[in-house]
Amino acid sequence: MAIEDLHWADRSTRDLIGFLVRAGHPGPLLLICTYRTDELHRGHPLRPFLAELDRARGVERVELSRLERDGTGAVLAGLLGAEPAARAVDDIHDRTQGNPLFIEELAAAGSPIGCAALPETLRDLLLARVDRLPESAQRVLRIAAAGGNRLAHQLLAEVAGLPEAELDDAVRAAVAAQLLVADPDGDYEFRHALVREAVHDELLPGEHARLHARFAAAIEAQPHLVAAGRAPAEIAHHWYAAHDHPRALVAARVTPAPPPTGTRTPSRPGCWNGCWNCGSWCPTPPTGSAWTTSRCWRRRSARRPPPVTTSVP
């Protein structure tokens, strides 16, 4: 006997299952019950019932992890009736993180490659649990969605600008609802990337621009991130999302990339490949390069010129 979606079961169903587990031995009975751990918020009536079943003889709990990329490809092939393109598998696996239900919904949207918009049915499903949160928790969740799928508590606190107690209560409600996951390092991560995507898509245009601008400014104010080389791409992304394209261009070119193997740097200190990756923003081209001042990225920032390198003899 198989019983699916046990998280939706009422008390009578749980009592029947408990009776079968206790009275079914030693008869030839196999009872398979499935439930989604995402639905088991704190206080869910299934939690104490599962703890009771764990103590019963003959009961075994099996945790099913998310699908790997190959598993996502196999599910898509079965749903589409043909082998999907590698790009389609990568896009859907990155967005669904191997959740079979989300894979099925995105595949049913009609265009697996790109998947520019979430299907309305899936969007409603994802946002239903968000709508049940207190307003303060929903507001913090919207702020976190602008920061990305994973962000540090310190960064979230700086952008949110809320009192510590109020922020902790809001985050605790989101964690209890299985929407955010807290790790020992002090970071928060959306349990599902599609939840973040759905919440982010609900931001108003002005709210969207303000939040991304605040995240960009907050990351710029953290020198250790810039020194580690993590920040430039994130800062450029946030400024671009805030529609501040000049700052996005500057942020993308702050940290010089290391010279590729088999090349030597131009004679001017701090530069290679011309001014595109110049950490010191030199006003003139490096000596001995093929650059001219008219091609300096500061003068023609709208176009990225090709890199110029000198081969090592």
pLDDT tens for 88-123 read: 888 888 888 888 888 888 887 765 555 557 778 888
pTM of the model: 0.63
Peptide bond into 223 cis (omega under 30): no
For the chain, where do the domains classified as CATH 1.10.10 start and end?
A: 128-201
pLDDT, one tens digit per residue, over 277-294 is 333 333 334 444 333 333
pLDDT above 90: residue 210? yes
Q: Which two tokens stand for residue 66?
A: 């998310």
**How far is the C-alpha of 15 from the C-alpha of 299, rounded, in Å?**
74
pLDDT for position 172: 93
What is the identity of the amino acid at 95?
R
pLDDT, one tens digit per residue, over 144-164 is 999 999 888 989 999 999 999
pLDDT for position 303: 36
- Least confident residue range of 41-50, 152-161, 204-213, 262-271: 262-271
Q: What phi and psi values does residue 150 have, to the nearest 5 degrees?
A: -140, 135
First-residue to last-residue Cα distance in the chain: 74
pLDDT band at 87 (very low <50, low <70, confident <90, very high): confident
pLDDT band at 176 (very low <50, low <70, confident <90, very high): confident
Q: Which of 40, 18, 41, 43 is nearest to 31 (CA)?
A: 18
pLDDT for position 97: 83
pLDDT for position 186: 78
310 three-state secondary structure: strand
pLDDT for position 223: 65
pLDDT band at 24 (very low <50, low <70, confident <90, very high): low
CA-based radius of gyration for the chain: 26
Task: Return the higher-pLDDT residue of 160 and 82.
Answer: 160
Question: Left (φ > 0), alpha (ψ -120 to 50) or beta: where does 81 sit?
Answer: left
Q: Which of 17, 7, 12, 26 is nearest to 53 (CA)?
A: 17
**Mean pLDDT of all residues in the chain?**
76
Q: Report the share of the chain in percent with pLDDT over 90.
A: 22
pLDDT for position 207: 94
Question: So what CATH class is 128-201?
Answer: mainly alpha
pLDDT band at 211 (very low <50, low <70, confident <90, very high): very high
pLDDT for position 53: 85
**How far is the C-alpha of 137 from the C-alpha of 260, rounded, in Å?**
47
